[in-house]
Structure formats: C-alpha cells, structure tokens
Structure 1
Amino acid sequence: MILQSIRQQLSSLRVGQKIGLGYALALGIAVSGTIAGFAFENHWQQMTEQRETHARNEVELLQRLQSRVLQARTHQQQLIPLAQYPEKFQDEYAHLVKHKAEIQEIWAELKAFVAKSMSLHGEEHQRAMPAFLQTYDQVPQLYSQEVERQVERIRKLNLASPTDVKQAQALLLAFTNSNLALEFDGISDDLVGLLDESYQELQEAAQSRRQAGEVAQIIMVASIVLSIAIAILLAILTSRAISQPIEALTDIARRSTEESNFDLQATVKQDDEIGTLAKSFNQLIQSVKQLLQEQQTANEQLETYSQTLESRVEERTQELNAKTTQLQQLLEELQRTQVQMVQSEKMSALGQMVAGVAHEINNPVNFIHGNLTYVQEYAHNLLGFVQLYQECYPDPVPAIQAEAEAFDLEFVQADLPKMLDSMKMGTDRIRQIVLSLRNFSRMDEADFKAVDLHEGIDSTLLILQHRLKDRAERPAIQVVREYGNLPLVECYPGQINQALMNILANAIDALEEANVKRTYQEIKQKPNQITIQTSIINSEWIKISIADNGMGMPEAVYKRIFDPFFTTKAVGKGTGMGMPISYQIVTEKHGGKLDCFSILGEGTEFIIQIPVRQQIRAAA
C-alpha cells in the first residue's frame, strides 16, 4: 500500500520534479549524516583535546618536580664528601638552595593546577594527586629547614680540623639516613606512580579521540549508503515513468543516424518535458542537417590549419618535456632533503636521549663511587681495630668468642676488603660505559672539532657489545683492532660515529646471516671476525678499513649499496638508508671517500678516507 501510494504521488509530478525530489532526498540524508558525523567528531575531539592538554600539563609539572627533588637530594648527599673543602661545600650548598626554591615554586604550581582541575572536572579525575599533596605538603619545607639547620651547625665547626670535618660528615650522614630525608625521597617514588597514571590518562584520551573518528566515519558511511539506496529506488521508479516515451524517441534517433535520413520527425503526443524533448529533437535534426553542410566547408579550412597546429604542438611538447625533467630533478632533491631532515631529527633525538641517560646514571654512580673511598677507609679502620683488640686480648670472654664464631669473623676480615674492591671496580665500569655513551652522542659538538677517531670507534663497539658477545647459537664475534698512529682529525664527531655505527651494524648483520646455515661447532672452527684497521695515507688524509668474513655480496648488489632505499634485507628489518646516509656524511659533510669492496663467499670491506683538516677550517 505504501509503495503504491508513492507511485501515484510520483506519477502526478513532472519529470524534473521527480528527479529533483529523489536527488534532494538522497543528498539531504547524505549531508545530514555527514554533518552529524562531523559534529559528533568535533565535539568529542574538543573533549579529548581538553583531556590531553590537562594530562600533558600534569606530566610536565610532575616531571619538573621529580627532577628538582632528585637534584636536591643528590646535592645534599654530595655535601658529605665536600665537608673538608669549604669552598666546594658552599658552591654545592648554593645549588641545593636554588633547587629548594624551585621545588617550592613547582609545588605551588601543582597545588593550583590540582585545585583548578578539580573545579573543572570534579574529583573523579583527581584521586591520587590531592592525597599526594596532602601527604607531603609540609615535607619539602621541613626538609629545607632541617638542611639549613645542619649547614649552620657545620659552619660553626672548624673545617680545617680533621676531627671537625668527620663530625660534619657524621652530621650530614645522619641527616641523610633520617626519617625526614627518607620521607623526602618518598616524594620521588610516589611521583613515579603519578606519572604512570598521567601517561595512562594521556593514552586513554588519544584512544578516545581515535574512537570518536571511527564512530563519525560509521555515521557518515551509513548515511551515504542509505542515500544511495534511496537514490536507486527513486531512479527505478522514475525510469519506469519516463522510459517508454523516451524509447520511442530513441528509435527515431537511431533510424536517423543509421539511415542518415535527417528528414524524419518524432511524433509529439504530450506537452510535458518528453513532448518538449521531442520538439527539441526535431529542431536538432534540422540543425544537424544544416551543420553537415557547414562542416564540409569547415573541413577544408581545418586541413589548412592542421599543418600549422602540428608545428605548434611539437614546440609545446618540447617545452613540457623540459619542465618534466626539471620537476623530476626537484622531486629527487626533495626526497634527499626529506631523508636528511628525518635522519637529522632522529639522530638529534637519539643524542639527547643518550646524553640524558648518561647524565642521570652518572649522578648516582658518582655519589656511590665517591662514598666507596670513605667506606673502604672506615672498614679498614674497623678491621684494624678488631685486629688490635685480638692482639691485646687474645683470650676473649666466651660470649664474644661464640659471637665471633657465629658470623665467622676471620672470613669477614678477609672478604670485606675484596668485596669493597669489587664494588669499586663495578662503579669504574659503569663510569666508563657512561663516558662511552657521551663520546658516541657528542651532542655538544655541532661544529668541526679535532678528535681522536679511535675513541669514536671504541665507543661505537661498546654500544654494539650486546650484539658481539657470545650467544647460545654462536660464539662471540671477534673484533680485531689494528690501529695506526692517527693524528687528531677535524670532523663532526657525532656524524662520523653514526657512519661507523651503520657500517659495523651491517657487518654484524652480514655475519649473522652467514651463520643461519652453520652449526655452533662450524662457527667455532671458523669464527666470525670483524677487522678494523686505521692508517695514515699521507700528511693530509687518513684511512679507516672495516672488513668482515661473512658471505659477501655479488657485484650487482654492492655496486648499488649506496643507492637510497636499496636493501636486500627482509621487510621490516631494513630501510635502505643506512649506507646512503653514511656515504653522504663521509663525502658531502667531510669531503672524504667511502668505498665498498666485496667478494661473494669471502666477505665485505668498507674503506673510509677522510682529510685530516677540513677545507672550510683551513681557508679560515
């Protein structure tokens, strides 16, 4: 019944009204759905952006507070070994005072931020933060006051006297282990959990924004599909209402075209759009007949114009070819520029991360390393005191004798110095690793600088040590260093280290690929080996050779190894940009040479040649 009523209403409309109604309905649904989808997405994104902004600001405040708390605690602990150096002690205390003021300022900002957030979002978004602020509200101020009190007590001592120095160190050490100091440390520990919650809130906001986009897309797609279905239905109904008159008119058109009989006329039976179309068709046939006569005359003129047009087309084609070549060159230059920018940003971020990690590790390690000396001295004195007591009282009372046998006093006397020595060796090892990380990143060297390339090679090998050491499936990769007596070379240290990293990483990849079909015993008989040779070519140039005994490469491969995006590795394991970037660093940035030589089945060798002095520096 509903369909029949729709047909009757449509049949009473004119053709234009029918078509207009159908398109208006379909377009209206599509537009409405699209607007609704965009409105929903816009509203939801505004909400999620507010959440993201709130979470980002909260993370920034918490990170600043955590950093200042750790710095303040580190400077306070550094006061202990510096008590015997009054000037250094005062400098260290000045840093501590500065960080205490920053902590109070950040603490006030955090309280204001939490208060504002609770007024806007309610308590459901602020649960742990108010409890954290309430728990530690007075701790920073009390900690600051207690540090000042201890420093005032130390200033009254005569630090030129070793006895007073030890008394000052004892005061500071006692304060370091006090409940107030431990409670101050608890601020940093609790900040870790708060930061995790803030990061989680930031991730949830981002996920919510993505979900809003997906829902909006579903709404828009559903509206478009519905509009298409309605348009198809209306098109079927409309076509049935106008198809028969048009078929008759089409038959006249076909006959006039096939028979070339332009004297035929369509019969006009109605005054609607179809009748108007038939009248227009009859006029069209008459016009075509007239145009055919005029066309014959125009063809004669066109023949004359065509000869001139061909020459103009050829000139235009040459111009277009020249512009196409220019555009291709510009596109290649743009790709190279994009790769340089991406790599520059990536290395900058890597350098900042490495420098930051090295800095954060170095502070507590220096604290431990500095205090180990005093611990060794105290342990030596205590053991000497025990030995003197044993010499003076060789026959102790039974209770003391039993206690000494219970915790094996002789073993402790022999093992404690060894244990302290091993701890000192461990901290020395950590400091060497931190120094290697700093040498590799070289974040503070943005200009040419004369450096020892051997330090860069050793730092890079230390960073790759986890890939060189032995594993269950193979022995360790042997690294043979054959260093010559190189002078200091002017270069960008960070970029040269990057090139060395790419080449050495490729060598390790080649060796691991060659080990796929070899057993552990076969690899042990013919071990993996990387040979690094440095030498002086002449007074102006030096050479670095890095060779491996892997499978090597065919000539067709190593001839293209410096082409951008060319790689033989599996998808996801290589981008094809490591060697091109290394080539650019050596040749363009340093005016040097980078060559690759490989023999299939024997191995691959990369040779870097760099001038000792850069031309820009020499000209200056």
Structure 2
Amino acid sequence: IEYQGRSEHRVKAPAAPRAISPKLGPSRINLRKFFDLSPDLLGVIGSDSRFKHLSPAWESVLGHSSQELKSRPWIDWIHRDDLQKTLGHIHNLVIVGKDKVTFKNRLRCRNGQYRWLSWQANYDPYEHLIYTQVSDLGERPGCTISPNLSGQKFNSPEEHFRLLVDGVKDHAIYMLDRHGRVISWNAGAERINGWEAHEIIGQSSQIFFTAESCQRGVPEKVLRVAATSGPVEFENWRMRKDGSCFWANVTLSALRDEQGQLLGYATITRDVSDRKQEEEALQQAYDNLEKRVAERTAELQAANSRLREEVQIRSQAEEALRQSQQRLTQQATQLETTLRELRNTQAQLIHTEKMSGLGQLVAGVAHEINNPVGFIHGNLEHASHYVQDLLRLIDCYQEHYPHPDPKVQAELEDIDLDFIVADMPKLLASMNQGTQRIKAIVESLRHFSGLNEAQYKPVALHQSLNSTLRVLQHRLQGDGQQQAIELIRDYDPTLTKVDCFPG
C-alpha cells in the first residue's frame, strides 16, 4: 500500500508500490557493505511490507536466516499484543509525517519464543522505504540470544506495511492483479470472508460477488472504473466462503508503477451489515413514522375540515343571530316609536275628546244662555217704547195738572221722578248694550266650540281669532296683581277663508 504525501494526513486509496530493483547502484553497494560490516540490527522495509535488506545481526538475535525474515511480511514476526501499537507508530511515521518514531515490541525467534526490541525508524517518502535501527532489549524464555549482541540498537522500517495490513482485523485488505485475481490476503479478509490465504490466492475477485451482480457485470465494471477514473467506493452484497452474504463497504484503487502501467488493484472491504440493518431498521421506523404521521395528518385534516364546517355553521348562526338581533332592535325601536306615537295620539285623542266635550258643553251652555238673552234683548225694545209712552203720559199729566194732590206730590218727590225720567233711557240703553254683549259672547262660544271639529275645511281666520280673543278677554283685563294687556288687532281685510283644521 502506497501512502501518497505527508500533507494530507490521511490514508488515500492504495496506489501501486514502487518496485525495488535487485540491482543496486553504487550508493546501494556501499549501503550493503555498511550493513554487512555493522554489528547492529539494521534493516530496510519496502512498500510491500517485506525486509529488503538486513544486517547479519538479525540472524544472531532471532535465529532466523536473512532469507526467512525476507520471505514473509515483517509484521508476521511481531507479537499480536504489540501489533496495534506498532501499526500506530508506523502510521505516525508514514501518514502523519513524523521525522522519526521510537517504539518497543516483541519479535518471534526461531524457537517460538519472543524477544523485546527497541525500534527507531525513519521514512523516505521518495523511495517509499522505512529505515530502522533496532536495539535488543533482552530475551524471553526459550529464545537464544548471542551475548555479544545484548543491548545493540538497530533500525526496521518496512515492516510497517505488513503490520498495517495483516494486523487489521475489522477490514479485509487484499491485492488483486491486473486481471482481478487475488494475490494477497490479510487476517481481516480471512475473518470477514472466511477463506484462508492458501484457499483464495489466485482466485478471481468475482467469487466475492453475488450471482446477480456477476450477471450484470459488476466485477468487471468496478475494475474498469478504478483503472480509468480513479478509486471507487461502493456498497453491495458480498459472498462468504460458507455461502452467506454480508453488506460490505468496498474501496477499490488501481496500483501503477512509475511509468503509469497498471500493476493491479488494492481492495479494502469492511463488513457494515450491522449498519445496514440499523439503516433498514431506521428506514422501517421512518416509514412507520411517516405512515403514522400520514394517518395522523389525515385525521387532523378530517378534524380540521369538520372544525372548519362547524366554524362556518357557527359563523352563519352568529350572522343570523346578529341579523335577528338587529331586526329585533329595529323592531323594538319601531315599537318604541309607535308606542310613543300611540301615547301622543292617545293624549291628543283625550285632549280632542275633552275639547270636543267642552265644545259640546260650551255649545249647550251658549244655546241655553242665548235663548233667555234673546228674550230679554227682544223685549228691551218693547220695554223702551212702553217707558217712552209712560214718560210722555207723565209729561202730559203734569202739563194739565201742574198742582197735583199733596199726597201725590209727596210721592213724586219721594221717588225723584225727574231722576227716573232722566235715568230710565240710560238704564234701558245699558241693558240693551249688556244683552248685545252677552249675545256676542255666546256667539263666540258657539264659534269656538265649532273649532274642535276634526275636519279640513275653509275657515275665516279673522272670525276664529276674534271669537278666541273674546273668550279670553278676561285674561287680558288687569287686576290688582298684573296690568291690563292692550291687544291691537290689525287684520288684512282682503284675507279669504283658509283651508285648515279649525281646531
């Protein structure tokens, strides 16, 4: 696996490892001589996670030959308990970009025991090589160690890749050749897919796909896209050795040499079945929730519709009630006006009735008064003639009998005949005037009583005013408490009768 650059600080898609030529240049020849002469544990680890060069001290400390150590990825020799820690240090060196890392771990000796070693490692990003200086910290029971190598320090860089790949248990990391056949297999791939390395090496990657995916040409398609367009990440159902399926997240990257020629593919597979089940469960819960929400929404919409209908009905009822109240208010106002008018009319009717009764009474009284007054007034003229005759007779008698009997003379003086003779005409004139006045008053009363007629007819306003004023004449006369009122009448003599109600 090739780590592209230090600035990104993350693992990119696997790229093609650089091939290390077995023929070394002058600098490599000097390096080989240096390694051969050094008593330290010195080593160079390549991008394929294998030792490329080892100093002779490795054989003395671990008991393995140099060829044995180079034949397997260097992380295969590390104790499993130290694997994750070692991978972390290599990650800091290669990915994070530290200049140097120092760590301790245990490597397996030829006799099966483990030996503690202290590592100092540097990384060459251009050559993709890890240079290591490793110190022997001591032996474990059953592991032979050379006395003269105790406490030596050496270097070991290339084993990082093997540790990084083979030590990962939750990811299946393996390589494919350019035809899609498996050429490497880590422990995570064995755990996830079920095949051991000797069973799967050389097999086509189509073995991991379901029959349906193979029929649709998915294996060839993803290889073609990775080779032409770059790294591919996808999820699908993958097959295990026992025929079961699991949902996998797969990252596929093309590996190329320095000339850009396709060497193969790097594949990282992760079992995400639990996440898939969680997503399906979540989706199911979401669907159920949507269904319940839809049902609840439908219920709320139905309830809202019913509520709107009720609100509309209530609004209509309120409007009808408001209109009814308005009509009732108008009717009450009209009734109140009508009642007031009825009361006024009733008062007017009562007043009219009273006035009518009064008019009838006045008319009756005037009629009753008019008859005797007429008798008196009519007889006054005759009485005046009779008195004149009697007075002439007395004058004639006095003329012929100037000296009456003393008794008669005394009676004449007693009654003051001269005064009677002088006052009698005045008395009769006053009585005539009184009867005339009484007749005028009676005539006014009769005319005033006629004004209460509820008829629309021509009326002489002068006569009506005069009769009314004559009836009220006593109110115009003064007394001890108020002065007399002088009434000036200035009528238009040309005024004709006016059409009106006389009352």
TM-score range, shorter chain: 0.3 to 0.5
- Structure having the higher helix fraction is 1
Q: TM-score, normalised by structure 2?
A: 0.36
- Structure having the higher strand fraction is 2
Between Structure 1 and Structure 2, whose CA radius of gyration is higher? 2
